[in-house]
């Protein structure tokens, strides 16, 4: 589904290389986890895949469902089904959550040549997803993420994810800031989205999240490339042994 080949990316106008020949292949229907020490390039990978400014891809390619992902604008990637659950979700002052999300949903639909979702249909869906994630309805009227706690922001990311029904999901440190109950609710939401046509990349520091969302493959990212891979049990081993032996 997504094929990353020898991806090399720099910041600070080429001064610093963050991704250094990273290759990774995630087929549809699979959930892959990326673990690794601080500064390994985990968040950079998520930003390069979603098209954030400030990262220069100097080598390599990313093929996303047959298309050259790196050639697309961020909003085109979103319309093609790529979703990033941010490590630090942004506050959007003055824009109510529901309005923001409906604008996003309909912009994606428009880009795909589909009809807009009607207001009642959208509302109905939002109510049911919010109930599933135990989000209070009045939170959806407030400006997106403004004044929300860290945990509420993370839950709101999952809410958006379930509303937008993306094809490929990247989750960047989604577990940070979540208590155990919230973690379970979020994991249930994510697991419900697992499907043969959908791929997921979970970036995490700790093994904890992977108890709830069990991955098909686990990779270690260090110094800008994948240095080791394994199955779900590999994460437990990493948790025990640490990343030291993978660091340069």
Partner 1 sequence: MINMQPNTLINQLPHRRMEAWKWTDVRGAVTDTQVGMTAACAPEFELPPSLTLTRKNHTDTGTPMGKLATNFAGEAYVVNVPAGFNSTDTLKISSLEHGHVRIIIRLGVDAKLNMSEVHASKKAGFVNLDLRIELAKGAKLARTINHNDHADTMRISTTQISAWADAEITQHILSFGAGLSRFETRIASLGENLKADIHGAYLLNDKRHCDMTSYIDLGAENAHIRQSVKGVVTDKARGVFQGKFHVRRPAQLTDAEMRHDAIMLSDSCQVRAKPELEIYADDVACAHGNTVGALDESALFYMRQRGIPSKQARALLTLAFVAEAFVAEAFDSMADHTSFMALITNWLEQNS
CB of 23 to partner 1, least distance (A): 24
CB of 193 to partner 1, least distance (A): 16
Q: According to the binding rule CB under 8 A, does residue 105 interact with partner 1?
A: yes
111-140 binders of partner 1 (CB under 8 A): 111
For the window 161-180, what string marks contact with partner 1 as x by the rule CB under 8 A? ---x----------------
Regarding 93 and contact with partner 1 (CB under 8 A), the answer is yes
Nearer to partner 1, 28 or 146 (CB): 146
- The least CB distance from residue 222 to partner 1, in Å, is 26
203-233 exposure pattern, b = at least 16 Cβ within 10 A, e = fewer: bbeebebbebbebbbbbbbbbbbbbbeeebe
Instruction: Using the structure block, give the residue that is written with the tokens 């080791």.
Output: 228
Contacts of 149 (CB under 8 A, 6+ apart): 177
CB of 133 vs partner 1, minimal distance in Å? 17
User: How far apart, in Å, are the Cα atoms of 137 and each of 73, 90, 92, 184, 207?
Assistant: 33, 20, 18, 20, 32
| Encoded tokens for 177 | 């800031």
Q: Residue 210 in contact with residue 218, Cβ under 8 Å?
A: yes
Site string for partner 1, 38-67 (x = CB under 8 A): ------------xxxx--------------
Q: How far apart are CA 217 and CA 237, in angstroms?
A: 13
Q: Would you state the structure tokens that stand for residue 159, as one six-digit string? A: 């809410």
Structure tokens at 144: 């997106």
- According to CB under 8 A, which one of 104, 227, 228, 232 is a site residue for partner 1? 104
Min separation Cβ 17 and partner 1, Å? 22
- Between residues 28 and 107, which has the closer beta carbon with respect to partner 1? 107
Choose between 155 and 225: whose C-beta lies nearer to partner 1: 155
- Is the sign of the CA dihedral 222, 247, 6, 215 positive or negative? negative
Residues contacting partner 1: total by CB under 8 A: 31
Binding site for partner 1 (CB under 8 A): 50-53, 73-75, 77-79, 83-84, 86, 89-95, 100-101, 103-105, 107-108, 111, 143, 160, 164
């Amino acid at each position: 589904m997504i094929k990353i080949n020898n991806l090399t990316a720099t910041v600070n106008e080429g001064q610093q290389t963050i991704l250094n020949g990273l290759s990774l292949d995630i087929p549809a229907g699979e959930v892959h986890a990326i673990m690794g020490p601080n500064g390994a390039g985990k968040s950079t990978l998520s930003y390069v895949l979603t098209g954030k400014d400030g990262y220069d891809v100097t080598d390599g390619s990313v093929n996303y469902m047959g298309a050259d992902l790196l050639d697309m604008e961020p909003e085109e990637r979103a319309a093609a089904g790529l979703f990033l659950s941010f490590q630090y979700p942004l506050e959007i002052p003055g824009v109510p959550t529901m309005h923001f999300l409906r604008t996003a949903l309909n912009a994606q639909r428009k880009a795909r040549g589909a009809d807009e979702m009607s207001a009642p249909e959208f509302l109905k869906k939002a109510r049911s997803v919010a109930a599933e994630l135990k989000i209070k309805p009045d939170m959806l009227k407030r400006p997106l993420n403004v004044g929300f706690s860290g945990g509420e922001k993370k839950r709101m990311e999952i809410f958006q994810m379930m509303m937008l029904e993306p094809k490929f999901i990247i989750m960047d440190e989604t577990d940070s800031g979540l208590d155990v109950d919230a973690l379970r609710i979020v994991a249930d939401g994510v697991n419900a989205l697992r499907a043969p046509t959908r791929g997921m990349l979970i970036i995490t520091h700790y093994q904890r999240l992977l108890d709830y969302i069990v991955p098909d493959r686990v990779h270690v990212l260090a110094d800008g490339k994948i240095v080791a891979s394994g199955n779900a049990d590999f994460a437990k081993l990493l948790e025990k042994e640490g990343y030291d032996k993978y660091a340069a």
